[in-house]
Structure 1
Amino acid sequence: MSTDAASPALLKNILGPAALETIAAAGTAASRRFDRAAFLTAASSGLDALSIMERVRHIADALHDALPGDYATGVDIVRAMAPQLTHSFQAMAVTEYVARRGLQDFDRSMEALADLTRFGTAEFAIRPFLAADTPRALAVMTEWTGSDNEHVRRLASEGARPRLPWAARVPALKADPTLAAPILDTLKADPSLYVRKSVANHLNDIAKDRADWLLDRLARWPQDDPRTAWIIRHALRTLIKQGEPRALALIGVGQDAAVTLRHFVVEPQAVRLGDRIAITAELASDAPGDQRLVVDYRIHYARAGGKTAPKVFKLRTFDLAARDTATLAISQTIRDFSTRRHHPGRHRVELIVNGRTMAESAFDILPG
């Protein structure tokens, strides 16, 4: 997840004092056995220093102080609280109670997660259950693919992602990222875009470790259903950016584009942080028929010590008619992110068409 430098401070405040009051009110409404004062005292203590996900876990532990010691009773109260919460991160914090207290009551906890995910995703809370007993958890999640609720179906895919952002890694999925393949096969034509995005992201995770397996699998998926075709395109995005020939072929793209580059310009040639660069290119078809083009650009970011770090960005995927021309343009602000810091120096820019570099240009980031 890319955010600017200010975003983390804003994000964590979603679970600030007002959210604690909302959760406390939901607990009080759900059961007379909920200790509001104990919850607020525990949840408020040390909150300011915590990041957003640390706050999720901190609030879950505070719920333990406020709920009856019997887990079965506590989880019933938590499930009654969830519909009264006003933000998905509040629900995630409540759901985390199941992850931190319910491992010894597997079936009850999995049922609770399927219920709670409707209010705030349980994708993080399910990870300890996957780690503790991967086959058992995946068996239950496979059953969830038949749910009539899109949130539950999405949890089946998202919760088992090998590289789920912000989440703890599951050893079995790290060793074999394809373990959830039956789930993905079942959801490959899901009617919900929310679910299809998760399936595509899950498959893209697999691409980073088992590209050949992924390409073999997707080659067997029929693309006559536009929902499946959509998943395949988005699942292959990392491999497409790498110019992988089989990935390009699966989306109907030939590796050798029959085009002439009329021009490729990056301007201005020198910028400072906060300025924008504009990239324009004009392609002319040399083909007698239509052809599909995948056009990306790669920026080689300058690093300390003269090194560079390349990153590929999507420009456009489109069909170019015979003997036609296409003008492509995009602009990008040069600013620091929590995941990327800019350094002064020369930044090469490549234009990539169907996986092959067609041209290069550059711009300089000035110091100060």
Structure 2
Amino acid sequence: MTETKRKGARSTKDIPAAILEQLNSGKIETANLVEWLAVDQKILLNNLLKEKERTSYLTPVLEDIERLKKQTVNTINEAIGKGLYKQALQADDFQFLAEIVLHPSDLVRCWATYYIACDENRTLQETLELIKPFAADSHFGVREISWLSVRKLISEDINQSIQILSEWTNSKDENVRRFASEATRPRGVWCEHIEVLKQQPELGLPILESMRSDKAKYVQDSIGNWLNDASKSQPKFVIELCERWRKESPSKETDYITKKALRTIEKKP
């Protein structure tokens, strides 16, 4: 999939009707966060199921959405992904997943990540390997949802997860490297915290150490944010780690990461 070259509208009201229709039909990717938030996922779901001749899945999945305590873009996204998995499982229809993982719509690919994360018959290693292509997706939304979809699985077996993801830090793809740190952030964004990493951030060192001088700003931001998360509960650990990194890796990349890591600590009087 190639990255979209459209800049996208600055506000929902500025999205051309023709573009919004294509987005809701699943014909094109969203170009920015404004478009991502503007897509009506229920309409997109209806269009997808008509396209794939699975209209019998529609009503049960819509009912899952209606049962949500709070309907947000992310909760609806998750409900659709899990709902589609449930329907496909009942129909013994695993061909459906193969048909949506490469769909032109970024939101449909987001649903597919939850579809993958639902299968309890897979090992953690197998699930993460299936998620990896989504971690490397050209679209920002798919990359974010890819780690959100498996965050609970990672949290439930943090030691094995760190062991597996530490290998991802050697990837040539900066998106895959970034997934390893973003998925294990102690506090994270739009997700539950990982309590053990808030109290024992040193467990994350196999992931953090190998990327302390990463050349990609996308990765640098994630590492800096990871440590900033940890600084809110274990400031001494973060201060000492940043001091050591600055001595051992005196580079502009490490300097950027450590400044970002220490920003909360340095704001305190």
Aligning the two structures, in what range does the TM-score lie when normalised by the shorter sequence?
0.7 to 0.9
- Paired amino acid for 1:137: S
- Mark the CA change 1:211 to 1:109 in structure 2 (over 3 Å): closer, same or farther: same
> Structure 1 segments of 4 or more deviating over 4 A?
9-13, 68-71
- Deviation sequence 1:34-70 (CA, Å, 0-9, x none): x621333233336466222221221122211442459
Partner of 2:268: 242
Number of residue equivalences: 226
Partner of 2:255: 229
Partner of 2:44: 19
* Alignment match of 1:124 (pick from 135, 143, 148): 148
Whether the 8 Å contact between 2:215 and 2:253 is mirrored in structure 1 is yes
- Mark the CA change 1:204 to 1:174 in structure 2 (over 3 Å): closer, same or farther: closer
Structure exhibiting the larger radius of gyration computed from Cα positions:
1
- Paired amino acid for 2:97: V
- Paired amino acid for 2:132: A
* Alignment match of 1:56 (pick from 63, 68, 77): 77
- Mark the CA change 1:61 to 1:80 in structure 2 (over 3 Å): closer, same or farther: same
- Paired amino acid for 1:113: I
- Deviation sequence 1:101-127 (CA, Å, 0-9, x none): 346432221111112222312221222
Partner of 1:212: 236
TM-fit CA distance, 1:233: 1.3
- Mark the CA change 1:208 to 1:171 in structure 2 (over 3 Å): closer, same or farther: closer
Whether the 8 Å contact between 1:12 and 1:55 is mirrored in structure 2 is no
- Paired amino acid for 2:160: R
- Mark the CA change 1:25 to 1:155 in structure 2 (over 3 Å): closer, same or farther: farther
Q: Does the alignment pair 1:78 with 2:89? A: no
Whether the 8 Å contact between 2:185 and 2:226 is mirrored in structure 1 is yes
Work out the CA distance in 1 between the residues paired with 2:90 and 2:126: 16
Q: Does the alignment pair 1:99 with 2:117? A: yes
Work out the CA distance in 1 between the residues paired with 2:130 and 2:91: 15
TM-fit CA distance, 1:155: 0.8
- Paired amino acid for 1:176: Q
* Alignment match of 1:145 (pick from 136, 159, 169): 169
- Mark the CA change 1:173 to 1:94 in structure 2 (over 3 Å): closer, same or farther: same
Q: Does the alignment pair 1:44 with 2:97? A: no
TM-fit CA distance, 1:234: 1.3
- Mark the CA change 1:225 to 1:141 in structure 2 (over 3 Å): closer, same or farther: same
Q: What percent identity do the matched residue pairs reach?
A: 23
More helix by share: 2
- Aligned-residue CA RMSD (Å): 3.0
Structure 1's unaligned 5+ residue stretches are 1-8, 29-34, 244-368
Whether the 8 Å contact between 2:178 and 2:222 is mirrored in structure 1 is yes
TM-fit CA distance, 1:24: 3.8
Range moving further from structure 2, 221-230 or 140-149: 221-230
Partner of 2:209: 185
TM score, norm. by length of structure 1: 0.54
More strand by share: 1
Whether the 8 Å contact between 1:24 and 1:39 is mirrored in structure 2 is yes
Work out the CA distance in 2 between the residues paired with 1:99 and 1:182: 24
Work out the CA distance in 1 between the residues paired with 2:255 and 2:50: 46
Whether the 8 Å contact between 1:118 and 1:152 is mirrored in structure 2 is yes
Partner of 2:178: 154
* Alignment match of 2:133 (pick from 91, 94, 115): 115
Whether the 8 Å contact between 2:242 and 2:258 is mirrored in structure 1 is yes
Work out the CA distance in 1 between the residues paired with 2:121 and 2:154: 10
Structure 2's unaligned 5+ residue stretches are 1-33
Work out the CA distance in 1 between the residues paired with 2:148 and 2:222: 14
- Paired amino acid for 2:124: F
Whether the 8 Å contact between 1:61 and 1:97 is mirrored in structure 2 is yes
Work out the CA distance in 1 between the residues paired with 2:183 and 2:238: 19
